[in-house]
Amino acid sequence: MSAVHERVLAALERREPDRVPTFDVMEEYANIYEILGRRPFPTGFLFTNRWTSRIVDKTAGLLNRSQIFFAEMDRFSYDRTEAAVKMGYDAAWVMHVPIWKFQDSKVAVDIYGRQYDVIVDGRGNLATPMYKKGLIASPQDWYGWDKRDLFRLPERANRAFRRIQKDLGDRIFIMPGFLFGLFENTWQPMGFERFAVALRKEKTFVRRVIRFYRDHFCLMLEAWADAGVPGAVYTDDMAYRSGPMLPPALMEELYGDAFRHITETAHALGLKIVVHSCGNVMPLLGWFADCGFDGVHALEPTAGVDLAKVKQLVGDRLCLIGNVDITHILVDATREEVFEAVRKSIAAAGHGGGYMVAPTNSHHTMSVERLRWMLEAVERYGRYPLDLSVPRNPD
Amino acid sequence: MGDMIARITDATAGLEMERIPSLLQEALQAGVQPFEVLGALSAGMVKVGDLFSEGKYYLVDLVLAGQIMKEALEILEPRLAVESLGGKGTVVLGTVKGDVHDIGKNLVANMLRGCGFRVIDLGVDVPPEKIVEALKTSGARALGLSVLLTPMVQSVADTVSALKAAGLRDRVKIAIGGACTTPELGRRMGVDAVGRDPIEAVRIFESFLAE
């Protein structure tokens, strides 16, 4: 086993590695290509240029059928893993999300029934589309929704991750992920207001949707395990800044069995599995551990997550991953601020192992320079036995 | 009659969505004035807010309360005098340009309506000039901006600048809210308040319009 794999596994098993591992969540073309020193074809301009956008408007159906964008996703996942290796990360959450189809140059629809605005990042790259609304207004809509592409996802993911794992898997601990988790896939295609009412009036239908996506997620786990990767990320935003979107007891009632089924399947396949959720997840942490997840990612300080408290609450049951702020620290902070943020996170969660330093999320205004500072800071403060009394001035 | 009012308030606070329409009809048929029914609903919404602040209710409960209020207003509005609605003042709301997220903004709109404000909801992806126009036309003294994502933060600054350029900044108080907002960001953007959740938003706008 490579030193990198041993380091990440130790953290995931709440053992003390040689140093605090680093976990990459990069999802934006601009940063990936800056790191790789490449100038990609600016696909985004096709969608914004006055003339080419008209061509996209007229030929969207043809482009979707040609699967050109799905092939682009394979390349993206490979490149973002290569960029993570080049940066020197220990682990990477590698998204492979061939789920979007373009209605025209402005609007995309995913294979689950959500509508999005197409987003271009200002540097000519397509960015993650912005969720606009759900298209599933009734159980009849859901039953009638064409799900064929959903069942093509596992094969597509298997093919993409076989190549990534073969070429890069010994240098980084690859943890595939895809969109979306069970909670988001239950509410987003119908919209949250409709979902709130459905929880009162159509609970049986909601349960059927959850069961469907539970089984689908297990197919994805099998595809990833078959590709040889060592872990997976279960991606599902379940909280806002104010806390969980649903009461924890209702989350357990609706999703508990499904989550346990997913983690048991992952473990039976030899995969470590980490849950990602944005927002203030403090009231859900114990439940995540009960459901069998090995770790939890995001732990957003700006959502009120106190990492030291998290360590106290579930540090003996979950590997903690993240906590480096992406609203200021990794966007426009000074080198000293970045070092101090990393030092504080390691001080809060690093003792005894079971912590990986990572940004809480990814967006296109994050700075590669500050990500490098974050990694440097881990080298400075993250070696075991921890010595956090190192002078604050990083230079 | 007092009993009916209390039942409406309790049913609203208890999120008894299925019972509310019949309770309203019953109260109106019994001669309870529409503005009294509205008051009972608003009192229920305040209780919902308190339960949320105490950590007993969650986001989904606020959304459900908003839906209850929306459906109740559909029954009441035709019977209410215009002045009964929005007695606490007018708030212009919108999600900033470049951002199409609306859950938080809709929640704030529903809570404000439920608590007696008149709300002009401009929707999502709202350019600064549209906000300025709405403030001018309505004479509103309060503006709420929703922004979920960090890359869209500049749109808040652009809106503040547009208000200044239009000579409205001294008259209009601005609050922001959303996942990426922090007190530090609020200071940098030059707004008057940052709301953490819809309940805090109600308190902020009450304080803005009480001045």
Q: Which residues of B touch A199 (CB under 8 A)?
A: 60
Q: Residue B197: which of A242, A250, A364 has the nearest Cβ?
A: A242
- The distance in angstroms from the start CA to the end CA of chain B is 35
Tens-place pLDDT, residues B131-158: 999 999 999 999 999 988 777 888 999 9
Instruction: Check B58 against A197: CB less than 8 A apart.
Output: no
What domains are defined for chain A?
3-38+71-99+133-381 (3.20.20.210)
Q: Residue A365: which of B58, B63, B150 has the nearest Cβ?
A: B150
Whether residue B21 is preceded by a cis peptide bond, meaning omega within 30 degrees of 0, is no
Helix (H) or strand (E) holding B83: none
CA A241, chain centre distance (Å)? 18
- The distance in angstroms from the start CA to the end CA of chain A is 34
Residue A159 tokens, joined: 């093919």
Instruction: Check B63 against A193: CB less than 8 A apart.
Output: yes
ipTM here: 0.88
Residue B29 confidence (pLDDT): 93
HSE-up of residue B104 (Cα within 13 Å, Cβ side):
27
What is the strand order of the sheet A23-24 is part of?
A23-24, A91-95, A173-177
The one-letter amino acid at A6: E
Tens-place pLDDT, residues A238-270: 999 889 999 999 999 999 999 999 999 999 999
Tens-place pLDDT, residues B46-63: 899 899 989 999 999 999
Looking at chain A, the number of H-run helices and the number of E-run strands are 17, 14
Residue A68 confidence (pLDDT): 79
Q: Looking at the predicted structure, is the pLDDT value of residue B98 above 80? A: yes
Q: Residue B100: which of A132, A242, A303 has the nearest Cβ?
A: A132
Instruction: Check B66 against A303: CB less than 8 A apart.
Output: no
Helix (H, G, I), strand (E, B) or coil at B174: strand
Q: CB contact, 8 Å: A192 with chain B?
A: yes
Classify residue A252 by its DSSP letter. I
Tens-place pLDDT, residues B186-207: 898 899 999 988 888 999 999 9
Question: Between residues B166 and B196, which one has the greater pLDDT?
Answer: B166
Choosing among B150, B181, B185, B188, which should be mutated to test the A contact, i.e. which has the most A CBs within 10 A?
B150
Contacts (Cβ under 8 Å, ≥6 apart) of B120: B90, B91, B92, B93, B134, B138, B140
Helix (H, G, I), strand (E, B) or coil at A134: strand
Q: Looking at the predicted structure, is the pLDDT value of residue B161 above 60? A: yes
Confidence of residue B114 (pLDDT cuts 50, 70, 90): confident
Q: Which of A231, A234, A118, A219 is nearest to A165 (CA)?
A: A231
Long-range contacts of A147-151 (CB under 8 A, 24+ apart): A147/A111, A149/A99, A149/A111, A150/A111, A150/A112, A150/A216, A151/A216, A151/A219
The one-letter amino acid at A203: K
Q: How confident is chain A (395 residues) per 10-residue block, as mean pLDDT? A: 94 97 91 89 85 92 83 92 98 95 93 91 80 91 94 96 98 96 95 93 96 98 98 96 94 98 98 97 98 98 95 98 94 95 98 97 91 97 88 55
Q: What are phi and psi of A377, to 5 degrees?
A: -65, -35
Classify residue B125 by its DSSP letter. S
Residue of B nearest to A130 (CA): B100
Q: Which residues of B touch A328 (CB under 8 A)?
A: 182, 184
Residue B85 confidence (pLDDT): 67
Instruction: Check B67 against A131: CB less than 8 A apart.
Output: no
What domains are defined for chain B?
2-84 (1.10.1240.10), 90-210 (3.40.50.280)
Q: Which of B95, B100, B156 is nearest to A128 (CA)?
A: B100
Residue A391 confidence (pLDDT): 61
Q: Residue A241: which of B99, B149, B179 has the nearest Cβ?
A: B179
| CB contact at 8 A, A63 and A69 | yes
